[in-house]
């Protein structure tokens, strides 16, 4: 397969779920895929060998945070993100647009770009779409995202329409500025929960043409059912020969429902963030290790899981680490939570290939775990 080929190898007959392979300069990526988030070039508390052991194929980093610290120039001089963070598989960098627009009281926005204040030292910076692409080229990820405007939820329709139009114009400028042939540039669909605005965004981005398409503007407070309702026509109208990436979504149920609609890629901080709070995913629902019922529980964290945490440490020990705020507790729970989501998407892929995804999804919907996610 040639670089950035997207080969759909199987589709489900009863849903729009599909299994595919996306080729990058650092190896193939088999989809559906969950991508752990390493915002500052590190998945918090987890080493890169541990990430490889749990089956991570792609790791995310964030252009906004790395631009502020240590600086894109330093990463570039180190040989790019792969050498900087000791990761030899694929990397995706988010443009940082979501992070900038989440700090609405510290930015000035125009069609030219965005002026924002650093969360590190308060200094002002200006990014044009071209600036953003240059920074991501310095970072050297395999997949990079366009700079876009991500409106909050809820937002006035007029504000969402403006974000759609501006994001489309920025997408064109990002593509014109992009030079590195070893990077795949993705456009980002916006439009909130408005079907016609989402359709407009898809049409404008498809007209420009990208290696893949992010679907942004979700996981910002909208109801789960409303997200799926507005997501379905987006997936139907995006090019079938390109990967579809639902940004910022990592709930097990949301991922499985989105796979049924035709989504290929996911990312979220949820597994590591909840781990640092002492919570574990499991085949029986979420487990709060702070709960006293685990103090004398010497069974595995999740009997259905084969990760190093579940095969090596009892619940009582994990609770002890959480209660005493030992760093190892967050690491072991992060390893497990990442394994849980990576294994879930791997099994989803297997179900698609076997022609049984609809049954796989229905089994999840009726499982004891479903209500917790």
Once rounded to an integer, what is the mean pLDDT over residues 171-176?
98
Band the pLDDT of 269: cuts 50, 70, 90: very high
pLDDT at residue 148 in the model: 97
> Which residue range is the domain that position 342 belongs to?
269-373
159 and 238 inside one domain = yes
By the 10 Å C-beta count (0-12 exposed, 13-18 middle, 19+ buried), 222 is classed as middle
Is a pLDDT exceeding 80 seen at residue 140? yes
3-state secondary structure at position 47: coil
Q: Quick count: other Cβ atoms within 10 Å of Cβ 264?
A: 28
Q: What is the average pLDDT value for the chain, to the nearest integer?
A: 96
246 and 334 inside one domain = no
Final residue of a structural domain among 232, 248, 267: 267
Burial 98-136 (b: 16+ CB within 10 A, else e): bbbbeeeeebebeeebbebbeeeeeeeeebbbbbbbbbb
Once rounded to an integer, what is the mean pLDDT over residues 4-28?
97
**Does residue 99 sit within a domain?**
yes
Furthest CA-CA distance within the chain: 61
First to last CA, the chain: 37
217 and 278 inside one domain = no
**Active site positions, annotated:** 94, 267
Final residue of a structural domain among 210, 245, 267: 267
Reported in sequence order, the residue ranges of 95-233 that DSSP labels E, i.e. its strands, are 107-110, 113-117, 124-127, 143-145, 184-189, 212-215
Once rounded to an integer, what is the mean pLDDT over residues 72-77?
98
343 and 204 inside one domain = no
**Does residue 295 sit within a domain?**
yes
3-state secondary structure at position 241: coil
Is a pLDDT exceeding 90 seen at residue 364? yes
Band the pLDDT of 134: cuts 50, 70, 90: very high
297 and 248 inside one domain = no
pLDDT at residue 264 in the model: 98
Task: Quick: pLDDT tens for 186-213.
Answer: 999 999 999 999 999 999 999 999 999 9
Provide the number of structural domains found in the chain.
2
Comparing 93 with 99, the larger pLDDT belongs to 93
pLDDT at residue 92 in the model: 98
pLDDT at residue 105 in the model: 80
113 and 43 inside one domain = yes
Tell me if 317 sits within 8 A of 329, measured CB to CB: no
Tell me if 160 sits within 8 A of 220, measured CB to CB: no
């Amino acid at each position: 397969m040639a670089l950035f080929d997207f080969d759909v190898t199987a589709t489900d007959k009863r849903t729009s779920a599909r299994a595919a392979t996306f080729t990058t300069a650092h190896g193939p990526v088999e989809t559906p895929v969950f991508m752990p988030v390493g915002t500052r070039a590190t998945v918090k508390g987890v080493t890169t060998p541990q990430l490889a052991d749990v089956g991570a194929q792609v790791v995310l980093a964030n252009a906004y945070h790395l631009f502020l610290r240590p600086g894109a120039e330093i990463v570039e001089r180190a040989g790019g993100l792969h050498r900087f963070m000791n990761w030899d598989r694929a990397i995706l960098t988010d443009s940082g647009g979501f992070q900038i627009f989440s700090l609405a009281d510290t930015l000035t926005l125009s069609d030219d770009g965005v002026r924002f204040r650093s969360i590190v030292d308060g200094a002002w910076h200006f990014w044009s779409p071209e600036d953003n692409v240059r920074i991501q080229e310095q970072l050297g990820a395999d997949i990079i995202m366009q700079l876009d405007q991500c409106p909050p939820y809820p937002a006035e329709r007029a504000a969402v329409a403006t974000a759609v139009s501006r994001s489309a114009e920025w997408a064109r400028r990002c593509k014109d500025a992009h030079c590195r042939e070893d990077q795949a540039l993705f456009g980002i669909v916006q439009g909130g929960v408005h079907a016609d605005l989402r359709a407009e965004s898809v049409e404008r981005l498809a007209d420009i043409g990208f290696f893949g398409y992010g679907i942004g503007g979700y996981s910002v407070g909208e109801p789960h059912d409303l997200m799926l309702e507005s997501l379905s026509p987006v997936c139907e109208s995006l090019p079938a020969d390109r990967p579809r990436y639902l940004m910022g979504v990592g709930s097990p149920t949301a991922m499985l429902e989105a796979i049924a609609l035709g989504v290929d890629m996911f990312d979220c901080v949820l597994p590591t963030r909840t781990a640092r709070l002492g919570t574990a995913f499991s085949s029986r629902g979420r487990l709060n290790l702070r709960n006293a019922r685990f103090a004398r529980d010497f069974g595995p964290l999740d009997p259905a899981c084969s990760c190093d945490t579940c095969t090596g440490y009892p619940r009582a020990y994990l609770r002890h680490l959480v209660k005493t705020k030992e760093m190892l507790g967050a690491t072991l729970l992060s390893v497990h939570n990442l394994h849980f989501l990576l294994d879930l998407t791997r099994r989803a892929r297997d179900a698609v290939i076997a022609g049984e995804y609809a049954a796989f999804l229905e089994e999840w919907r009726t499982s004891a775990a479903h209500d917790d996610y």
